[in-house]
């Protein structure tokens, strides 16, 4: 059998920058399937019989990053489960550190083409407010966890964005003071320019 080459766009940016919000719109309008690594980990945490539930919750509360073996498997399973209709996959909130990137390249590098990284940037104070006001009962939407998420973002995730920047693959949209509609208008342009 020919190996299917999955089309992928990574979506990165600080906590609360609007990754999930924009991915929902891209999925609806452009035919991509939205896979949030955080949502997949939260679902695995709740799954009866999961051997990883406690480990995942500890990482989420501490704003630290779950080992790539777990996250990458959840992503690959979700890609397989979504069937063949998807135009491509938006991978939201991954890869977040060097371990994630190495694991992805090892397991998925030959099966995927990463077209670009959509980088949603926003001032960190705005991001904190958005997380605190989200009201979805997330165990990491408290001041202490948010501070830890931001530290992890600065120390571990931003270098991954810089890595892709050096490859010419980053498309940045500054989102802090824009409405979701205004951000989406720019997102749609980025995808259009990429022919996606």
17 in contact with ligand UP5 (CB under 6 A): yes
Nearer CB in complex with ligand UP5: 78/175: 175
Nearer CB in complex with ligand UP5: 7/39: 39
Out of 20, 53, 176, 180, which residue is the one contacting Mg ion (CB under 5 A)?
A: 20
Write down the least CB distance from residue 40 to Mg ion, Å. 11
Indicate which of Mg ion, ligand UP5, none lies near residue 78 (CB less than 5 to 8 Å, by partner kind).
none
Say how many residues touch ligand UP5, by CB under 6 A.
33
From residue 103 to residue 132, the character string flagging contacts with ligand UP5 as x (rule: CB under 6 A) and all else as - is: ---------------------------xx-
Cα 91–chain centre separation? 5
Is 27 exposed, middle or buried (CB count within 10 Å of its CB: 0-12, 13-18, 19+)? middle
Q: Give residues with Cβ within 8 angstroms of 156, minimum separation 6.
A: 65, 96, 97, 98
Instruction: Specify which residues 7 forms β-bridges with.
Output: 113
- Cα–Cα distance, 146 to 148 (Å, whole number): 5
101 in contact with ligand UP5 (CB under 6 A): no
Contact 17, 131 (CB under 8 A): no
180 in contact with Mg ion (CB under 5 A): no
- Cα–Cα distance, 16 to 109 (Å, whole number): 28
Contact 26, 108 (CB under 8 A): no
Site residues for Mg ion per CB under 5 A: 19-20
Positions touching ligand UP5 (CB under 6 A) are 13, 15-21, 36-38, 41, 59-60, 63-66, 71, 93-94, 96, 100, 130-131, 134, 140, 149, 175, 178-180, 183
């Amino acid at each position: 059998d020919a190996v299917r080459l999955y089309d992928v766009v990574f979506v990165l940016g600080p906590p609360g920058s609007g990754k999930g919000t924009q991915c929902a719109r891209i999925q609806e309008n452009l035919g991509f399937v939205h896979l949030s690594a955080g949502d997949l980990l939260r679902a695995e945490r709740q799954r009866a019989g999961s051997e990883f539930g406690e480990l995942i919750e500890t990482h989420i509360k501490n704003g630290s990053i779950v080992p790539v073996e777990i996250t990458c498997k959840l992503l690959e399973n979700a890609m397989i489960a979504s069937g063949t209709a998807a135009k491509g996959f938006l991978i939201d909130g991954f890869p977040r550190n060097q371990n994630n990137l190495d694991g992805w390249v090892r397991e998925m590098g030959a099966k995927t083409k990463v077209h670009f990284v959509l980088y949603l940037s926003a001032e960190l104070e705005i991001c904190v407010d958005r997380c605190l006001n989200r009201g979805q009962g997330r165990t990491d939407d408290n001041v202490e966890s948010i501070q830890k998420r931001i530290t992890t973002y600065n120390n571990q995730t931003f270098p991954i964005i810089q890595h892709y920047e050096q490859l010419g693959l980053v498309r940045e949209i500054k989102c802090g003071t824009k409405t979701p509609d205004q951000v989406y208008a720019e997102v749609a342009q980025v995808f259009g320019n990429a022919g996606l």
